[in-house]
Amino acid sequence: MTSACERYVVIFNGEIYNYPELRRELEARGTHFTSASDTEVLLHLYAECGADMPAKLRGMFALAIWDNHARSLFLARDPYGIKPLYTANDGWTFRFASQVKALIAGRAISRDPEPAGATGFLLWGSVPEPFTLYRDIRALPAGHSQIIDEAGPRPPRAYASIAEVFADGAARPAPRDDVFSRVRGAVSESVKAHLVADVEVGVFLSAGVDSGALLGLMRDAGQRHVKAITLAFGEFENTVEDEAPLARLTARHYGAEHVVRTVGRAEFEAELPAILQAMDQPSIDGVNTWFVAKAAHEAGLKVALSGLGGDELLAGYPSFRDVPRWVSLLAAPSRVPGLGRAARMMLTALGVGRQNPKAVSLLEYGGAYPGAYLLRRALYLPHELDALLDAQTVRDGLRRLKSLAALRASMTPAPARAQSRVALLESANYMRNQLLRDADWAGMAHSLEIRTPLVDFDLLKALSPVTPRLSPGTGKQALAAAPNLQLPRAIVDRRRTGFCVPTGHWAAAANATTAASKGAGSRAWAREVLKHFGVANASVAGLQKACTGVAAELAR
């Protein structure tokens, strides 16, 4: 969109939820609008505020504004990094896009591999920002803006930091008696903001607390007719992984139109090429979001709310229990130089580490938050990578990744409270690099805008003082109690299983001539990912764990 004066041109991916308030403020100061869109608000706000504009926005966005007078380009990305933004600069031309594949498609950027991208994929199951699979392409950091003019690109500048908000909240924790009321008020307000739309807004509904509470809060916000989309799989029928029965209970509880979409092996096989083509960067996850987004599109939805982010903000993962406990127990012995590595090597030589390499690495990594988080979340540990990639790629990749230093940087400033530290680590790493990225490519592939009311910077500011007070289960209990009509006890008391897809079973059945094992399915799925992305010299057998690890990790 071009401004009326033709000075500014904007391209914009995302949604600005507070644009009605911003528009009213601009109109009160004499600004004239020619459309009703949030995009025009960006043009006028930038004309008034310049580089300070992103801090005033509430939403998910990657945007670029060209100034015809100053001959400069302004880029910005939302504080959580919900929307991706990638850049490449060869010294002559600066390029940017919302997909790595778009930059590669231009054929002007080197395809030289980035060792940190391949190594990072095997460590985490996704490529950690700012890296990609290509040496010359980088992600603009979340919560940053950047100016590019005739002198070249200036360094990215932070305008928002989730680390600072978590640290501030940990320094002034809320009274314990206020936890439920604060969660109810803040989440209710966020859901209302995320319902601003000129089309119908639906919801992804699982058997869990997060999506169920969102459905109840949508009803409280006045949306009486809601389409709730649930995935079902024949392989999970009559097991704890079957989401449909309890999701049906929640839908009835709130009077929603419930759409249960069953997905089977034949459809998975047919969709696999499209899934891999849409997967902008390699990921071991995202198949679940692909199919629920497809189901939402088939139901006529263009916008759907997701409960993504509830576990990170409200201490729903086992990491909130495990990481602080490991650090407390192992902080002192881990300070002895070389002791952890020596213990791991000795136990491995004795054969102890073959079944569980993480167990023998506890002393090496578990005494500090970055290492303990790596231990909890990593698919493979650094010393395992030589069996998966060539030695030079591993050496270069680990040197460029600097995984522990990167984790420390992601939690700087470090909050003073344990729960806030883990919430920050989960939000700035696993959620950003995998969950949000997968939601973006899977949703966009089906022309579906996935909104995440529990991943919201204003919500974080309101609830960061609550995070230090969350004992195991408290956060989810508070969220379940947030709607006026609280969630049924069957939902609140359900054992956590994660959002699982029987990918391994399907892949095995598609490739085996005899009874398929889970391992065979993993290898088949790994071959598809490996073949499509061309992760150099990676062992298919070694990738086996990476391609099915997330569901198992979530289930634990």
Domain identity same for 104 and 192:
no
The CATH number given to whatever domain includes residue 247 is 3.40.50.620
Q: Could you tell me if 41 and 154 lie in one domain?
A: yes
User: 434 and 306, same structural domain?
Assistant: yes
Q: How many independent structural domains does the chain possess? A: 3
| Residue at a domain's end among 126, 158, 190 | 158
- Span 116-135, pLDDT tens digits: 998 998 899 899 999 999 99
Domain-embedded: residue 366: no
Q: Are residue 209 and residue 271 in the same domain, yes or no?
A: yes
Asked if residue 462 is part of any domain, the answer here is: yes
Q: Is residue 2 in some structural domain?
A: no
In this prediction, residue 89 carries a pLDDT of 94
Block residue for tokens 């003073």: 416
Q: Does residue 187 have a pLDDT over 90?
A: yes
3-class secondary structure, 204 = strand
Same domain as 310, residue 242: yes
**Cα–Cα dist 174/172, whole Å:** 7
Q: What is the CATH number of the domain that holds 92?
A: 3.60.20.10
Q: Which of 493, 515, 542 is the last residue of a domain?
A: 493
**Exposed/middle/buried for residue 71 (C-beta within 10 Å: 0-12, 13-18, 19+):** exposed
| Statement to judge: residues 441 and 520 lie in one domain | no
**Domain identity same for 196 and 264:** yes
Asked if residue 465 belongs to a domain, the reply is yes
Does 139 share its domain with 173?
Answer: no
Identify the band that residue 533 occupies on the pLDDT scale cut at 50, 70 and 90.
confident
CA count, 13 A, side-chain hemisphere, 279 = 27
Q: Is 457 in the same domain as 507?
A: no
Q: Please say which residue of 441, 462, 493 terminates a domain.
A: 493
In a domain, 164, yes or no: no
Q: What's the whole-number average pLDDT of the chain? A: 89
Place of tokens 């902008």: 280
Same domain assignment for residues 309 and 230: yes
For residue 468, whether the previous peptide bond is cis, meaning omega lies within 30 degrees of 0, is no
Mapped onto helix, strand or coil, the DSSP state of residue 148 is strand
Distance CA 522, CA 482 (A): 40
Structural domain that includes position 85: 8-158
pLDDT recorded at residue 505 = 64
Same domain, 506 and 486: no
Q: Same structural domain for residues 43 and 120?
A: yes
Asked, for residue 243, whether it belongs to a domain, the answer is yes
Indicate whether 63 belongs to any domain: yes
- Encode 510-547 in three state secondary structure: HHCCCCCCHHHHHHHHHHHHHHHHCCCCCCHHHHCCCC
Q: Which helix (H) or strand (E) holds 278?
A: helix 265-278
pLDDT tens for residues 369-398? 999 999 999 988 999 888 888 899 999 999
Query: In this predicted model, what pLDDT tens digit does every residue of 239-254 receive, in sequence order?
Result: 777 889 999 999 999 9
Does any domain span residue 351? Answer: no
DSSP 289-350: HHHHHHHHHHTT-SEEE--TTHHHHTT-STHHHHHHHHHHHHHHHHTSTTHHHHHHHHHHHT
